[in-house]
């Protein structure tokens, strides 16, 4: 009965035959220019990069290594090159408010041109102003102004001096300033002589001095006003001289930019600023060293440099005039790398900054084009995700540091003028990130309206096989690998199908394919071959597994040495071999486990020992609850289930989750109830529903191979095998050793649809079908289970009679 239901070896693995494609090696195949099996993603990319409305940013998600970034670049770059080149952006000094630098928007490529012109202009200005101050004309006019004001001062005092002389009074200079004193014959009278003069004479002289003192004070008060007027005249002269020297230079630059109003305005401000601060250029640096104290030279030079620097241009972003729109990938999306930053320099122990220290971020570089970011890295950076959303909502770039955002520190900084933002952002991440953001961030769907869903599997068809062969050939040429023979190509395709866990699909995982081809190329090169053959691909697969399977070998060793108890022959009541999968990184392997069931009279409880000791996960507990309800519904529909049962994974010391062992647990329970032994040469996997139908599970290939390896070590007898859900047959891609054993009849794979089918294979006893009254034939499995449960029910009624001490005792135990 069991042998008739075993799958033939041809059903255990899909084999490819590419003979019909008519090639011997991949060098004969054409390149595949379109991504394979990504039609949905490609349509989304084309739509997302084409639509220019706000909020239609893209989130590309798929398994890591599926080639998302490469495919996005493939479609972005042609689209970007066809778009208009965005403007250049520059920051310049705000002469009225230096803490708020102004922004200049210039045609593409013009930013660097303006910066170079301003650098040349300011150096010329420095030279011509110094030359103008050294000219004979300037010195003559300066001397005239000086002499003019000197004459005015002398005239004011000359009138006073005449009046004083006429009255025999002299104007003398003292440490305290100018003073009046009596004189005779042009000489100041000594105080002793003055005291001997007649009283009337003294009074007259004092009165005359008093009258002249008022005029003297008026003359003295006039001096600061004359000096102020002199300075104004000198400043006016300096402005005229400077204007004459620099106007034609700035006018030349202004003519070049007459079509750009912002630049013309900036040049006007520069012109006024240079004229206003022309004094710092009166001396050249060499002259300053000779003319002023050494300790003041550095400050003088710094003042000149500051004036020159304030007139220059900080080119934030400049584009090639014929380069199209930018495509920028930011590998480290911190706040500063996105928004830009304002740097500082140290001066005399303090941190200072200016508009020249504003540095661009990824948003500046990508403005007018496309910005690609890794979603996981973005979310890991503090404030980066919220900052990006804020900029996209406001459609402008506002440069702020983290310290400003968090209101930390008192370092003097700038508040640059904001820049309008027009960028298409493309986030790349895995599906979990996409769905988490969709569910938990209310802004997400308003800003990222275009999901780009990458598939990692391709449905197998005649056309798909041919395209996949070209896909492999393209990858081999792209990475400059040896060509593959047809046999090697078939082996690669078998491996890529195995990676999907589905014999009707091929894997689209670019990294896995690329790694496999590279490793196969290594082994082919090592043996001096000119082609990659099937043996090289198999060696690459074998070596890859060997590097990762130490824990699998250790697990098999425990069974082989008898540390872990598991039978592969004979028959046992209430004992069955279950199968599970362990995942370690990117390597998975199957691990057989002994599952046992014990029963006794009770109150209808099926105890999951794994759950009771908190080793079982919620999915495993769900499977146990389903099987307990299945038993109650099938065998005790009209009476209470008077059963207590316990299920356990023997020698299980770690967590257990998943419901793939629920069918095995049910078989063990039925075996214990019917007192019918289960063949230990078979292992079981599959979940069960409440109607007794066996459902598909994952990791079927690894589970089968895990049990096969143990059976092979102990010796294949022809009775061993694995029972799987029929719905998992399409997932079979078993290794060659299992196929060879199946062809020789040494190992069997049994597909089942229901518990009844499975119990017959495991016990060799008919399951039994219910009659019209719901009963089962007595010698069938179902009949014996029902009979056993009825016996439990009768015993329960007996012990539940009033006054029965035994019932009270058991009830107390169960409680």
Long-range Cβ contact pairs of 266-274 (< 8 A, separation 24 or more): 266/92, 266/102, 266/104, 269/95, 270/118, 270/311, 271/246, 271/247, 272/95, 273/95, 273/307, 273/310, 273/311, 274/125, 274/129, 274/242, 274/246, 274/307, 274/311
Provide the 3-class DSSP secondary structure of residue 595. Answer: strand
Which residue is listed with tokens 């069997």?
748
Distance in angstroms (rounded) separating the CA atoms of residues 212 and 63: 103
Cα–Cα nearest to 734, from 4, 64, 7: 7
Residue 703 annotated to the active site = yes
Instruction: Quote the distance between the C-alpha of residue 780 and its chain's center.
Output: 62
Sign of CA dihedral 452, 457, 462, 466: positive
Cβ contact 667:629 at 8 Å:
no
Exposed/middle/buried for residue 192 (C-beta within 10 Å: 0-12, 13-18, 19+): exposed
Exposed/middle/buried for residue 407 (C-beta within 10 Å: 0-12, 13-18, 19+): exposed
Angle (CA) 382-383-385 rounded to 5° is 110
Residue 660 annotated to the active site = yes
Helix (H) or strand (E) holding 124: helix 110-134
The catalytic residue among 507, 636, 660, 671 is 660
What single-letter DSSP state applies at residue 167? T
Q: Which residues contact 378 (CB under 8 A, 6 or more apart)?
A: 333, 384, 385, 388, 427
Strand runs (DSSP E) across 650-788, as ranges?
Answer: 678-679, 682-684, 687-688, 694-695, 721-725, 748-752
102-106, strands of its sheet edge to edge: 102-106, 88-92, 313-317
Tokens linked to 315: 């080119």
Distance in angstroms (rounded) separating the CA atoms of residues 702 and 719: 20
Exposed/middle/buried for residue 554 (C-beta within 10 Å: 0-12, 13-18, 19+): exposed
Distance in angstroms (rounded) separating the CA atoms of residues 29 and 472: 10
The catalytic residue among 68, 110, 703, 786 is 703
Distance in angstroms (rounded) separating the CA atoms of residues 176 and 182: 18
Cβ contact 515:541 at 8 Å:
no
Tell me the pairing of strands 350-352 and 424-429.
unpaired
Residues 568-603 as b or e (16 or more Cβ within 10 Å = b): beebbbbbbbbbbbbeeeebbbbbbbbbbbebeebe
Alpha helices in 260-319 (DSSP H): 261-276, 285-291, 294-310
Phi/psi of residue 587, nearest 5 degrees: -115, 130
Angle (CA) 118-99-124 rounded to 5° is 20
Cite the active site residues.
660, 703
């Amino acid at each position: 009965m069991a042998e008739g239901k075993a799958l033939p070896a041809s059903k255990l693995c899909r084999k490819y035959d590419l003979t019909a494609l008519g090639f011997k090696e991949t060098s004969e195949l054409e390149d595949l220019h379109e991504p394979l099996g990504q039609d949905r993603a490609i349509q989304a990319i084309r739509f997302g990069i084409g639509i220019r409305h706000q909020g239609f940013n893209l989130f590309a998600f798929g398994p890591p290594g599926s080639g998302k970034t490469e495919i996005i670049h493939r479609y972005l770059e042609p689209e970007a090159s066809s778009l208009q080149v965005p403007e250049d952006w520059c920051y310049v000094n705000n002469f009225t408010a230096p803490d708020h630098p102004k922004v200049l928007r210039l045609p593409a490529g013009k930013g660097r041109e303006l910066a170079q012109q301003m650098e040349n202009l300011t150096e010329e200005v420095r030279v011509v102003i110094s030359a103008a101050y050294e000219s004979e004309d300037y010195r003559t006019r300066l001397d005239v102004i000086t002499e003019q004001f000197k004459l005015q001062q002398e005239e004011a005092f000359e009138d006073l001096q005449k009046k004083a002389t006429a009255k025999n009074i002299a104007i003398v200079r003292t440490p305290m300033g100018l003073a009046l004193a009596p004189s005779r014959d042009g000489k100041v009278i000594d105080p002793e002589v003055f005291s001997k003069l007649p009283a009337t004479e003294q009074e007259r002289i004092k009165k005359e001095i008093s009258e002249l003192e008022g005029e003297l004070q008026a003359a003295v008060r006039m001096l600061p006003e004359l000096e102020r007027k002199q300075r104004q005249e000198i400043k006016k002269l300096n402005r005229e001289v400077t204007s004459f020297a620099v106007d034609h230079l700035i006018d030349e630059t202004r003519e070049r930019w007459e079509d750009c109003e912002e630049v013309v305005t900036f040049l006007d401000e520069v012109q006024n600023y240079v004229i206003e601060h022309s004094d710092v250029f009166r001396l050249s640096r060499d002259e300053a060293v000779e003319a002023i104290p050494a300790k003041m030279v550095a400050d003088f030079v710094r003042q000149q440099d500051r004036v020159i620097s304030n007139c220059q241009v900080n080119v934030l972003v400049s584009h090639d005039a014929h380069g199209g729109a930018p495509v920028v990938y930011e590998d480290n999306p911190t706040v500063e790398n996105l928004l830009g930053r304002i740097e500082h320099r140290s001066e005399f122990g303090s941190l200072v900054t200016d508009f020249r220290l504003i540095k661009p971020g990824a948003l500046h570089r990508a403005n007018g084009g496309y910005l690609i970011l890794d979603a996981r890295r973005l979310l890991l950076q503090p404030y980066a995700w919220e900052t990006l959303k804020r900029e996209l909502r406001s459609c402008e770039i506002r440069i702020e540091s983290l310290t400003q955002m968090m209101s930390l520190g008192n370092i003097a900084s700038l508040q640059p003028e904001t820049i309008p933002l027009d960028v298409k952002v493309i986030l790349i991440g895995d599906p979990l990130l996409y769905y988490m953001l969709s569910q938990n961030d209310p802004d997400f769907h308003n800003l990222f309206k275009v999901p780009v869903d990458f598939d990692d599997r391709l449905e197998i068809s005649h056309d798909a096989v041919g395209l996949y062969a070209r896909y492999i050939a393209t990858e081999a040429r792209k990475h400059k690998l040896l060509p593959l023979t047809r046999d090697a190509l078939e082996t690669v395709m078998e491996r890529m199908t195995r990676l999907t866990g589905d014999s009707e699909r091929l894997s689209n995982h670019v990294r896995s394919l690329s790694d496999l081809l590279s490793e196969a190329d290594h082994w082919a090169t090592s043996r001096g071959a000119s082609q990659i053959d099937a043996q090289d691909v198999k060696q690459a697969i074998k070596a890859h597994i060997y590097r990762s399977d130490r824990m699998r070998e250790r697990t098999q060793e425990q069974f082989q040495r008898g540390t872990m108890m598991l039978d592969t022959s004979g028959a046992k009541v209430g004992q069955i071999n279950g199968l599970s999968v362990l995942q370690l990184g990117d390597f998975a392997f199957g691990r057989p486990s002994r599952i046992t069931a014990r029963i006794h009279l009770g109150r209808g409880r099926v105890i999951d020992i794994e759950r009771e000791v908190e080793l079982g996960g919620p999915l495993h507990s769900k499977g146990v609850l389903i099987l307990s309800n299945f038993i109650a519904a099938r065998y005790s529909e009209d009476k209470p289930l008077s059963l207590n049962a316990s299920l356990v994974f023997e020698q299980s010391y770690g967590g257990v989750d998943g419901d793939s062992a629920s069918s095995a647990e049910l078989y063990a329970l039925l075996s214990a109830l019917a007192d019918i032994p289960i063949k230990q040469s078979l292992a079981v996997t599959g979940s069960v529903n409440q109607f007794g139908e066996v459902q598909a599970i994952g990791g079927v290939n690894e589970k089968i191979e895990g049990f096969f390896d143990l059976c092979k070590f102990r010796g294949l007898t022809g009775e061993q095998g694995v029972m799987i859900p029929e719905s998992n047959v399409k997932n079979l891609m078993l290794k060659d050793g299992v196929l060879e054993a199946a062809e020789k009849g040494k190992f069997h794979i049994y597909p089942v649809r229901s518990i009844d089918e499975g119990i017959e294979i495991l016990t060799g006893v008919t399951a039994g079908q219910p009659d019209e009254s719901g009963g089962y034939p007595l010698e069938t499995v179902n009949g014996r289970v029902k009979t056993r449960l009825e016996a439990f029910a009768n015993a329960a009624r007996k012990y539940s009679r009033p006054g029965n001490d035994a019932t009270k005792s058991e009830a107390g135990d169960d409680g």
